[in-house]
Amino acid sequence: MSIKKEKIFHGIPVSSGFARGPVFVYQPYLPVISERVLKPDDIDSEVERFRRAVRNVEAELRELHQQVGREMGKDFAEFIDVQLALLTDEEVLNETERYIREQLRNAEFAYSQTLKGLTVSGRAAQVPFFRERFADMADVSARVLSVLLGDNLPSIFGVKPGSVLVAHQLPPSDAALLDPAKVAGIVLEAGGKTSHTAIMAKAKEIPAVFGADAILKMIQEGDEILVDGYRGLAILNPSANRLKTYEAEIKREQRRRASLKALVEEAPVTLDGKMIDLSANVEFLIEARQAKDNGARGIGLFRTEYLFLARRRPPTEEEQFEIYRDVAELFRPFPVIIRTFDLGGDKVIPGYTEANPFLGWRAIRFCLDDIALFKNQLRAILRASAAGNVKIMFPMVATIEELRRAKLVLEEAKKELRKEGKPFDENVEVGVMVETPSAAILAQQFARESRFLSIGSNDLTQYTLAVDRGNERVARLFDHFHPAVLRLIKNTIDAAHEQGIWVGMCGEFGADPMGVVLLLGMGVDEISVVPGLLPETKQVIRSIDTGVAAEVAHQALKLSTALEVERLLEREVHHRFTKLARSLHAVKGAGGE
């Protein structure tokens, strides 16, 4: 019997961790659609057959919605709402029925032709938001066509425990049903980090790599695969040497996780006794629960964009209130900082495109141009403040005028709630997310009119260096250790403290161990990272003396290049932070706004 040759596929690291197991190939549903010419007398019955298929699928999705809501939270069930919206889209339904009546064609053919036209026009737009919704549309259409054709859809329930699921794409409705006890890992040929399937993989903590191009062409029966969710590698039929190397790394990872688990109940306090508020960046209720289990002392950044993007309409006040309230209650008495809609840039506004979205109509600018939508969200946040320690944060503020206008809208929302007799925290704290150079330079002025400042290092870095962090051609220039970025961060921290308010970091910088050294040396009060990195970040914090870190930060701020800063940190960490140096090999840098 010949030994199968090892083959390495490079992809996108979507969900961290390691997995090894036999390949389970998820075969997509490829319907065979024939074209039939109808008799005029058959038109009404064919239209009804189409409507009945849609109703059947709608019932299936509503049942799935309830299941996902029970298992993962009602906010996660919003993904199924996206599919329900696509299923019942009036344009699709009306165009399909028109095609049946005018072209005298069978329902499945009419439906497929309608979707083909929409898909072509959507792909031509090359908009990331719509590209990532094709998976949802494909999922919905497959369900409708299977009913019309009387076919059975492929099922993930046949996967054997310990298997690695490999597919071109995984429908979001199937991803919602993945059982981590059975599926050890996921490898997809397509998909992005912000797709629904990616988010579900991370929430279920299943190691995943997407973008492993053409892997299905190489798979044979009996193959084994190794998933490296840290480096974005899928290794088909790993060699004995490869397995030996990874087995050692996996054992180290297991030991590290076990030791970090013991830190959950420990305080995030430095060697010299400074308490740091270690919080979490979250987007979903299930992530908030994970954050609490990992020892978070609050939510430093609660993103709310998914509430908007998961629908084809803005979320109602009540829909928002229920989710904000649940998170506030979960973390009471610790703070939950809710960021108002940060739409635009890499978070595309449905139906809207522009040439340079990162410099265009986004975040606070978008909200101040749609006062009704903005006030609706502020009312929901205010109402949730009655259930816990809620704070409000405005994103991408570049001018004092923007902050003042936003606070005026907030006061109007408070006035309305008082009149309606709805309770809220009259002293709810309002802060600014410092992610534009203008906000960092004018930090003194912003601090005078805010209760806290939170630095978003990802956008602050790209705006300071004029580098689009999503552009592969200039990605190498994106470096948050650039001295210009460090000086803006230091200026923001100093300005906040001079005005007597606290300052936090909720960007990727705060999840980098070397970044934590600088932040503590600069005097930051709070650090917020993704839930999975809370134990690692706490370990770093507990390994640092802030006095020594201050000396290192002082030296770093005098340097001229990011490379010089990084070399300084590497040298000083190994010479002056021996406890941190011993654990650094186990800490993975990740996070983000």
Contact 341, 347 (CB under 8 A): no
pLDDT (mean) for 45-59: 95
pLDDT (mean) for 166-180: 79
For residue 157, is pLDDT > 80?
no
pLDDT (mean) for 174-182: 78
Q: What are the boundaries of each domain within the chain?
A: 7-28+155-238, 40-149, 266-586
Task: Please give the pLDDT value at position 126.
Answer: 45
State the DSSP code for 499. Answer: T
Rounded Cα–Cα distance for residues 569 and 87 (Å): 54
Structure tokens at 217: 């062409």
Contact 381, 406 (CB under 8 A): no
Q: Report how far Cα 188 is from the mean position of its chain's Cα atoms.
A: 18
> CATH topology of 7-28+155-238 equal to that of 40-149?
no
- Positive or negative, the Cα torsion across 562, 568, 570, 576? negative
**High-pLDDT (> 70) share of the chain, %:** 89
pTM, two decimals, is 0.75
Q: What's the topology of domain 266-586?
A: TIM Barrel (3.20.20)
Q: Give the active site residue among 65, 196, 480, 482.
A: 196
Task: Quick: pLDDT tens for 433-476.
Answer: 999 999 999 999 999 999 999 999 989 999 999 987 666 677 77
Q: Residue 130: pLDDT band by 50, 70, 90 thresholds? A: very low
Q: Residue 500: pLDDT band by 50, 70, 90 thresholds? A: very high
Task: Quick: pLDDT tens for 297-355.
Answer: 999 999 998 777 666 567 899 999 999 999 999 999 999 999 999 986 655 565 556 66
Contact 379, 338 (CB under 8 A): no
Task: Please give the pLDDT value at position 129.
Answer: 44
- Positive or negative, the Cα torsion across 181, 185, 190, 194? positive
Task: Quick: pLDDT tens for 283-311.
Answer: 888 889 889 999 999 999 999 987 776 66
Q: How far is CA 337 from CA 32, 306, 344, in A?
A: 51, 16, 20
Contact 341, 377 (CB under 8 A): yes
Q: Which residues pair with 526 in a beta bridge?
A: 277, 504
Task: Please give the pLDDT value at position 16.
Answer: 84
Task: Please give the pLDDT value at position 239.
Answer: 92
For residue 396, is pLDDT > 70?
yes
Task: Please give the pLDDT value at position 127.
Answer: 43
Q: Residue 41: pLDDT band by 50, 70, 90 thresholds? A: very high
pLDDT (mean) for 373-382: 97
Q: Give the active site residue among 10, 497, 506, 585.
A: 506
Task: Please give the pLDDT value at position 173.
Answer: 66
Rounded Cα–Cα distance for residues 363 and 375 (Å): 14
Task: Please give the pLDDT value at position 589.
Answer: 35
Rounded Cα–Cα distance for residues 416 and 376 (Å): 11
Task: Quick: pLDDT tens for 229-259.
Answer: 988 999 999 998 999 888 888 888 777 777 7
DSSP letters for 160-194: PTTEEEEES---HHHHTT--TTTEEEEEESS--TT
Name the residue with tokens 């020892």: 295
pLDDT (mean) for 389-405: 97
Helices (H), 204-346: 240-261, 285-293, 305-309, 317-331
Instruction: Identify the three-state secondary structure at position 429.
Output: strand
Query: Catalytic annotation on 196?
Result: yes
Query: Catalytic annotation on 367?
Result: no
What's the residue count for the chain? 593
Rounded Cα–Cα distance for residues 47 and 55 (Å): 12
Instruction: Identify the three-state secondary structure at position 234.
Output: strand
Task: Please give the pLDDT value at position 200.
Answer: 74
Q: Which residues are annotated as a binding site for phosphoenolpyruvate?
A: 303, 339, 458-459, 469
Contact 214, 168 (CB under 8 A): no
Task: Please give the pLDDT value at position 4.
Answer: 80
Average pLDDT, the chain: 87
Could you tell me which residue, 309 or 84, shows the higher pLDDT?
Answer: 84
Rounded Cα–Cα distance for residues 434 and 492 (Å): 8
Which of 463, 464, 443 lies closest to 454 in space, CA to CA? Answer: 443
29 Cβ neighbours under 8 A, 6+ residues apart: 142, 145, 146, 151, 153, 154
In CATH, the number for domain 7-28+155-238 is: 3.50.30.10
Name the residue with tokens 């809620």: 390
Contact 276, 295 (CB under 8 A): no
Q: How far is CA 384 from CA 322, 326, 381, in A?
A: 8, 8, 5
Q: Residue 135: pLDDT band by 50, 70, 90 thresholds? A: low
Percent helix, strand and coil across the chain, each rounded to 5? 55, 15, 35
In CATH, the number for domain 40-149 is: 1.10.274.10
